Amino acid sequence: MTIEDASMIPNPDVMLINRELSLLKFNERVLAMAENPSTPLLERLRYLCIVSSNLDEFFEIRISSLKEKIDQAPHQMQADGYTPLEAFACIQQSTHDLVDKQNELLLNQVLPALMEEGIGLLRVPQWTQEQRDWAYNTFMREVMPLLTPIGLDPAHPFPRVYNKSLNFIISLSGEDAFGRTGAIAIVQAPRALPRLLKMPEAIAGIPHGYVLLTALISCFVDELFPGMDVKGCYQWRVTRNSDLFVDEEEVTNLRQALQGELSQRNFGAAVRLEVDRSMPDALAAFLQKEFLLTENDTYRVLGPVNLSRLSRLCDVPDRPDLVFPPYHAPVPAPFDQLDSPKDLFHAIAKQDQLVHHPYQSFQPVLSFLRAAALDPHVVAIKQTIYRTGEDSELMAILMQAAKAGKEVTVIVELMARFDEQTNINWAARLEEAGAHVSYGVVGYKTHAKMALVLRREQGEIRRYGHLGTGNYHPRTARLYTDFGLMTANADICADMEQVFSQLTGLGTRRNLRVLLQSPFNLHDTMMAYIEREIEQAKAGKKARIMAKMNSLLEAKIIHALYEASQAGVRIDLIVRGACALRPGVPGLSENIQVRSIVGRFLEHSRVFYFYNDGAEDLYISSADWMDRNFFRRVELAVPVFDRRLKRRVINEAFRYALRDNQLAWKGLPNGSYQRVRSRRGAIFNLHEHLMQELGQ
């Protein structure tokens, strides 16, 4: 087997790409949006902030997990051809390169360009006397009273440092009032203080001038140490392991156990140290020793240690010319012309309805649930919640329905990473409103997206369902691409009710009629469908697989796709993020194409297509093709039966994406990506095309 640029692969015969390295490649593609001069200027800054936020989670979860593997079996060969130690070395180098590129882009291109537009950070060396006076007064009035300097000595040990908090290390000389000689002090920036302060326009000299909290503290830190000589003040922060552990065998109340675990999340083992690039080596080494980290774990930055704090600059209200043109998603037919809850249910009963966010409004989903809450004929609502946000109209609707006396059952996933506290709060409020709240099944995250409404019609109960690929989160529904299906199909809705019964009650596994479900039959069915395409290809028939997802990592699926490629099955994979499959390898995967779309919206929908001798089986799903989604989560894949809607999904999920030559990246055998560009000059931008097609 030959692989292009095999020098980048630890073992050319290894058929899987390292997950963490693939995630870093995804962040390189996001960073490319910030590099692109055709991207509006404030959006370029936003992409830089997104990369910073992504890297935070990368260290909190992925690097933390890898370090645990190193502790357990540092030299054990993994399926990607690396030992944990080898993988960690490659990942560190790639991450350092990415961070350096990010800092260079911010300081040398984006911030200077923003300053030319009257938006920017006013740096200490360039302050006028008037600006310095404003900064000093602001520091003394609003900042200094909240600061607690800690001089390190036997009576003042190194303070407990919160995950990703902003801190300063100060080197001192001199003698204080008690005769103590200065050496090192630590100042922690309180979370109550804004990291970015707006200077009045008349003083700033530009419409939108800001000063970093870091600049204020560094410039006037000597006020905290009167009579001492401040030799230097340097910003730093530490990133910690933020994964949660709940003993599934010992836990008796998941909510209580999780609440206790959350309080410790911000004090896990340190995995990354970020320091000001000007920090002396001796101080950096002091911090490294304190957190049991090495120089390779240390990232020296030129700008703020938490670059994502600059996202506030992206929301300047009076510069629409520096952001993407506004897009107002329309409410699609028939939801734009319904007068009553009865009309809505009648429209769904008449024909399945499909909405494609964010090109089409999320309002129909809210209207569906609001109609259920208001309609006197609706007797019950059942809903899964994975992420919904702190201020959720949807949750208010469910509480309204419960207070109105309807049977409201909500499966709240308490283990939704980084949304645990929000979901705990919603669970309590739902219970207070009279809803039945369940937390699913311990050990299996409930990631399926579904809402079921039971309505009494002509003396019988009729079911109406919504199933989607994305969360019930109105804000992200304006940013993430997702499909949602509303249906009264008897088989689909009966399956939904059975899944709800599994999640709230007890009982043996029963086969579903049409839905595919993890952890039971989704993986086996996907394998069987791939095998069926292989048999069709071997029989000389047309064979085709298309799949769209966020991540492709599950080894058995990948090896089945390799086998399908060798049998002559044409395979198109649209994978936004991490992809462990090597496409285009002669004799292995030459019939497989991998694309990644990165643009204005976050590609989030999961769609699976199998030609099946012309029958064209098509599913929308909540599940990526990953081990956790197949075996450790409750997920659903929903068949699209309506021919008109099936054609829409095929076009909007696949055909247009395969035509894109502006946002698309082509996956290469070595795990890297190259931009897709048209050789004929015809421009096709997936996101713009769908805004035009569905926004009319």
Binding-site positions: 54, 387, 417, 480, 576, 604
Closest CA to 81 of 15, 25, 1: 15
Gap between the Cα atoms of 133 and 203, Å rounded: 10
Interstrand relation of 436-438 and 570-575 (parallel, antiparallel or unpaired): unpaired
Any catalytic annotation for residue 447? Answer: yes
> Where on the phi/psi map is residue 666: left (φ > 0), alpha (ψ -120 to 50), or beta?
beta
Q: Residue 625 in contact with residue 607, Cβ under 8 Å?
A: no
CA angle 509, 632, 511 (to 5 degrees): 20
Question: Which parts of 553-622 fold into alpha helices (H)?
Answer: 555-567
Rounded Cα gap, residues 386 and 399, in angstroms: 17
Name the token pair of 137: 């007064």
User: What are the backbone angles phi and psi of residue 365, rounded to the nearest 5°?
Assistant: -70, -45
Query: How far apart (Å, rounded) are the C-alpha atoms in residues 469 and 450?
Result: 9
**Of 356, 357, 447, 687, which one is the catalytic site residue?**
447
Identify the residue whose tokens are 């035009």. 692
Nearest to residue 686, comparing CAs of 667, 666, 658? Answer: 658
DSSP 135: H
**Rounded distance between C-alpha atoms, residue 10 and residue 87, angstroms:** 10
| Angstrom distance (rounded) from CA 11 to CA 34 | 33
Structure tokens at 50: 């997104």
The three-state DSSP-derived secondary structure of 64-94 is: HHHHHHHHHCCCCCCCCCCCHHHHHHHHHHH
Instruction: Give dist(CA 147, CA 145) in Å, integer.
Output: 6
d(CA 226, CA 94): 44
Measured between alpha carbons, how far is 401 from 371 in angstroms, rounded to an integer?
A: 10
Question: CA 183 to CA 637: how far, in whole Å?
Answer: 61
* Nearest partner of 332 among 367, 358, 361, judged by Cα: 361
> For residue 539, what are its two tokens?
């029989």
Distance (Å, whole) CA 148 – CA 158: 13
Binding residues for ATP: 54, 480, 576, 604
Binding-site sequence positions for Mg(2+): 387, 417
- Indicate the pairing of strand 229-240 with strand 270-276: antiparallel
Of the candidates 22, 26, 42, which has an alpha carbon nearest to the alpha carbon of residue 34?
A: 42
Relative to beta strand 229-240, strand 208-212 is: unpaired
Q: Which of 598, 643, 642, 607 is nearest to 625 (CA)?
A: 607
Token digits of residue 43: 């959006």
What count of Cα atoms within 13 Å lies in the side-chain half-sphere of residue 400? 15
Classified as helix, coil or strand, 160 is coil
d(C-alpha 243, C-alpha 222), whole Å: 38
Query: Mind giving me the DSSP string for 522-561?
Result: HHHHHHHHHHHHHHHHHTT---EEEEEES-B--HHHHHHH
- DSSP 3-state of 422: helix
Gap between the Cα atoms of 271 and 163, Å rounded: 10
In terms of C-beta density within 10 A (0-12 exposed, 13-18 middle, 19 or more buried), how is residue 669 classed? buried
Burial class (CB in 10 A: 0-12, 13-18, 19+), 199: buried
* Three-state secondary-structure class, residue 469: coil
Catalytic residue IDs:
447
